[in-house]
Structure 1
Amino acid sequence: MPERRVVTGRSQNPRERFAEELRRLRTERGESLRQLGEQLGWDASLFGKMESGETMGGPEVVEALDTHYGLPGLLIAMWEIAMGDVTRFKEQYQRYMGYEAKAVSLWQYSVGAPPGLLQTPAYAREILAAGGIRGVELDQQVEARMSRRKLLEGPSSPAFRVILSEAVLRTQLSDPNDWRGQLEHLAEAAERPKIKLQIVPFSAGPHSLTNTDVMFLRMPNGTTMAYPENDLRGELIEESSRVEQLQLRYDSMRDLALPLAESRKFITRVLEEVPCEPST
């Protein structure tokens, strides 16, 4: 009987597993990204983004890699499985958006960026572009994100409690004026009667949600669901026991946050540190 191949320790996520395999194949050959790009006729940066999971590439480039490594059909099959996983993620996100529009209350913790509902157009554009989105798609996604902000407007808007890590207030945009605009928007949002905004300072130390963004949605029927996410993906959780586990983590983290008034003062102090620069 042939020896069984051990895969323990490798990612079980199809997209991450595909990226791992691309890195492994190239490094075992001793090729640099530049050499790979020269041999296959694509820019080396594309292969770097594929190996980091930032992009999946297209069928043509995956087929070329399949041939290059002498693995007829294997990489194409892995790519198709991973793309199916991406499709499921998009469908799940669309379901989340539908629930968000109907929620009677929302509460969120953000690790490194303001929640989309509180982002300015300039902030949304820069953070989306940092994720590799360009051109018309970038314009469309910025517009879509800005349209979501209307959810917090008007008498029927849901109550929204948002807790931000101090890192959100320290990770600046490239343009100081755009960054000032984002901080001013957060300060203004903190004054709205239906928005409760708090800050978890660095001095609070590690906590139960140190590396996890999460949004909770309370629905009209009384049920609650959660949507934890990172830069690459999110997961809509409807199972009550899993939602409760995340809620306990959220409550534990909230105990470390500054009170509402102190949080507003904290944002104002950070805002005062931003230099005023003339617009060009």
Structure 2
Amino acid sequence: MAPQERPGALTLLRAASPALSATERRVADWILTRPEHLLEASMLDVAQACDVSDTTVLRMCRNAGFAGFTDLKLALARDLATPMQLIHDDIADGDDPMTIARKVFARAALSLQDTVNVIDSDDFDAALDLLDGARNVLVGGVGTSGVVGQSFYQRCRRLGISCDAPQDSQVQNIHAALLGPGDLVVAISFSGETKSVVRMAEGARLAGADVLVVTGNRESHLAKTADVVLQSVSHETRNEPLAARLCQLALLDALCVAYSHRHLDEVLTRDRRAGQSIVESSF
């Protein structure tokens, strides 16, 4: 039997409205009367427009059946999107293949530029210090974020950082519970609401480890577990935000390069050894 599709965002909001509190219903009504405005609004923008707290906006989202504010925005974007936008936001019916390629690259470049523009230098310095001082590093993520995690894990190993990145989410949670002070979890989720990744980060924090979060949602459950948040930016309607993965990769690559710069001689020595092993294994 095929999985049942979740109703559209507006349908969920209308269905939930009678059971919401008065202040939550005010937020729902604001969205229902101007859904297109929500796509460009932050949670703070909505809170101010409705004269409520941002906590009320978040609570309304969850009581209406969404994981959080970002989940609501993505669901609404899909509701309002044309079929073409569900494939890619910028393509049109008459586009030839090369035009499509150029538009995909342009959107990816815009996401990367937006991401570098929102990096807070203090947060990036703090993230580097966490990585540099970690006794052990556990990397966790699922889906496309899991692919990013595996890439970061391989970079860390080549840099000489003690690192672990199990792909099974249950194993990620077990390993997180076995961490302690001086250890670091790098938790990756664009939505910041992936339950298994949130549980892993919470388990690591309970064990006394530090938590570095890479996410597109600073108001998410995952971000609230973090010592440091590095934010990626992507404006995609489709279910699998691939530009977001590029931004996550770039953020973590920048972190690795900064670490290499700090430990240049040691990293170059290890890189030569790794390169030599690749040459020898090819014969």
Asked if these proteins are the same fold (TM beyond 0.5), I'd say no
Q: Between Structure 1 and Structure 2, whose CA radius of gyration is higher?
A: 1
> Taking structure 1 as the reference length, what is the TM-score of the superposition?
0.24
